[in-house]
Amino acid sequence: MSEKTLTESSRESAVDAQPEASAKRWWILAVIALAQLMVVLDATIVNIALPSAQADLGFSDGNRQWIVTAYALAFASLLLLGGRIADLFGRKTAFLVGVAGFAAVSALGGAATNFEMLVTARALQGAFGALLAPAALSLLNTTFTDAREKAKAFSVYGAIAGAGGAVGLLLGGLLTDALDWRWTLYVNVVIAVFAFAGGWILLHNHRDAANSKLDVPGTLLVAAGLFSLVYGFSNAETHDWNSPETWGFLIAGGVLLTAFAWWQTRAAHPLLPLRILLDRNRAASFLAVLISGGGMFGVFLFLTYYLQLNLGFSPTKTGVAFLPMVAALMVAAQVSTTKLVPRIGPKAIIPLGFAIAAVGMAWLTGIGVGSSYASAVLPQLIVTGFGLGLVMPPAMQLATGGVAAEDAGVASATVNAMQQVGGSIGTALLNTLAASAATDYLVGKDPRNKLVQAHATIESYTTAFWWSAGLFAAGAVIAFLLFRRGVPEQDASAAPVVHM
């Protein structure tokens, strides 16, 4: 057989293999999306079930927040370590261990017989989530290299990351109403079976940083720094901003993270190579994810309170009420990643998304004691969801795109860390501001009067919404100033396609 015939034959077989490889990539996206949904769900799914869990296990109101905080603390503080492990030991290995571990400790939490068992399971969920989330995002980044396919994949992933919290509220409500609060944890086992089976069959193990070593001092510094930061902000909710438990941990977190940044310039094998942060678009994207994570909690947390306590919605009905926001976010995610950013660039689109979300939150401040969902909540939710859909998926794609293959895991971990830290900061700040607004409103009024109480809660919600609107408006300005003009360049060598 001649060389020409051989070349033609190999080209034909490559063309024939292309649709199969492409189809396999979309199955990989489905597996990654399932795993990511499981991690994001658990940030909110347990919230709706907390009253039932508290009544069942008999723990105090003071301990209740630790069911949420234990997950956030472990997840945020171990993310960069999880990302580096994925780079060093292989993304498939990290993904599968993360999925299996997450399922096992979810089952442990579902079977909890006391508070200590439940809070331990939640912390372990956070730890396995910190291994799973960066592996999932870096797998997405290295599996899809074609610009159009990558845009579609990130629109799906970004929509799940943005809307997963609302889906968690819906699923948490449905499971608590129909079955039992324990099923908000058991449901992860069902999801994990499909994610693990798909990952085992479809994924290949890539160890792009196999020649590097783990940066132990850097790992300890960043884990302690992120833990202190999230713990400090969590204490601001339960204690006070003047409390040593709040400012002491915040200062310690700042010092530790500064020391971590210094060490990264000295380490032979840095945990977070500074080259990842030095790209202007990537740094702007990290900040966009941080700000959107902080502002989103204003929507989910306080609107959940308003719908249930003021409008009398059941947990299930509350979850359903968020679905239009999820739909708007998913539509905007598809449009922004596949059409707008590839043609116009992020400098116009991401600030526009922040501005739209700010308008939606400001509009939401019009709620009152006797407002209806259809006029005072629904349109505002759709506007806010659409705005966030223009921000989060493109920012996540830009934050992880163009990095060297050996840094894909740690870049993905940084995105997740930004979202988690943003959420912790947003929750603490907005809770504190809302509580102060309610206290100020009650000055000189009779706090025993039910109507006065109702107006005080409305005052607290609208204050939180105004601050969320301000946060999104600041995000619009920051994004406009930091993002470079023009369409981002595609670096074909940055993340090689996964061989099928």
Pair 321, 335 in one domain: yes
Residue 10 within any structural domain of the chain: no
Higher pLDDT, residue 48 or 473: 473
Pair 386, 289 in one domain: yes
Given a cut of 70, whether residue 132 has pLDDT beyond it is yes
Q: Which domain holds residue 338?
A: 22-214+271-482
Query: pLDDT-derived band of residue 102, with 50, 70 and 90 as boundaries?
Result: very high
Q: Is the dihedral of CA 175, 159, 382, 366 positive or negative?
A: positive
Query: pLDDT-derived band of residue 67, with 50, 70 and 90 as boundaries?
Result: confident
> How many domains does the chain fold into?
2
Given a cut of 90, whether residue 78 has pLDDT beyond it is no
Residue 498 within any structural domain of the chain: no
pLDDT at 104: 94
Higher pLDDT, residue 47 or 246: 246
pLDDT at 9: 42
Q: Are 286 and 412 in contact, with CB atoms under 8 Å apart? A: no
Distance, in Å, from the CA atom of 460 to the CA atom of 432, rounded to the nearest integer, reads 10
Q: Are 396 and 154 in contact, with CB atoms under 8 Å apart? A: yes
Backbone Cα Rg of the chain = 23
Query: pLDDT-derived band of residue 451, with 50, 70 and 90 as boundaries?
Result: confident
Pair 225, 199 in one domain: no
Residue 141 within any structural domain of the chain: yes
With CA atoms as reference, report the closest residue to 429 among 253, 247, 296, 236: 236
Q: Percent of the chain at pLDDT above 90?
A: 14
Read off the CATH number of the domain in which 209 is found: 1.20.1250.20
Across the range 123-151, mean pLDDT stands at 79
Boundary (domain end) residue, out of 270, 291, 307: 270
Residue 282 within any structural domain of the chain: yes
Across the range 184-190, mean pLDDT stands at 87
Pair 219, 148 in one domain: no
Half-sphere exposure of 115 (CA within 13 A, CB side): 15
Pair 161, 285 in one domain: yes
Query: pLDDT-derived band of residue 493, with 50, 70 and 90 as boundaries?
Result: very low
Residue 64 within any structural domain of the chain: yes
The first and second tokens of residue 185, run together, are: 């944890």
Which residues are within 8 A (CB) of 125 and not within 5 positions of it... i.e. 6 or more apart? 42, 71, 74, 75, 102, 105, 106, 109
Q: Dump pLDDT digits (tens) for 349-394.
A: 999 999 999 999 999 998 888 788 888 889 999 999 999 989 988 8
pLDDT at 492: 40
Pair 93, 156 in one domain: yes
Given a cut of 80, whether residue 107 has pLDDT beyond it is yes
Distance, in Å, from the CA atom of 76 to the CA atom of 84, rounded to the nearest integer, reads 14
Pair 74, 194 in one domain: yes
pLDDT at 475: 93
Query: φ, ψ for residue 207 (rounded to 5)?
Result: -120, 75
pLDDT at 13: 40
Q: Give the number of other CB atoms < 10 A from CB of residue 311.
A: 18
Distance, in Å, from the CA atom of 67 to the CA atom of 109, rounded to the nearest integer, reads 10
Residue 120 within any structural domain of the chain: yes
pLDDT at 351: 93
Q: Dump pLDDT digits (tens) for 310-343.
A: 888 877 788 788 889 888 988 888 888 888 888 8
Pair 381, 248 in one domain: no
Which residues are within 8 A (CB) of 433 and not within 5 positions of it... i.e. 6 or more apart? 463, 464, 467
Boundary (domain end) residue, out of 233, 254, 270: 270
Pair 232, 366 in one domain: no
Pair 31, 164 in one domain: yes
Please tell me the least confidently modeled range out of 274-283, 369-378, 476-485. Answer: 274-283
Given a cut of 60, whether residue 210 has pLDDT beyond it is no
Place of tokens 């199955």: 27
Across the range 167-172, mean pLDDT stands at 76
First to last CA, the chain: 27
Pair 333, 242 in one domain: no
Which residues are within 8 A (CB) of 208 and not within 5 positions of it... i.e. 6 or more apart? 87, 142, 404, 405, 406, 408
Pair 41, 156 in one domain: yes
Place of tokens 């629109």: 155
Across the range 164-191, mean pLDDT stands at 80
Segment holding 5, helix H or strand E? helix 3-57
Higher pLDDT, residue 290 or 151: 290
Residue 495 within any structural domain of the chain: no
Segment holding 162, helix H or strand E? helix 147-178
Give the chain's length.
Answer: 500
Average pLDDT, the chain: 79
Helix (H, G, I), strand (E, B) or coil at 450: helix
Residue 90 within any structural domain of the chain: yes
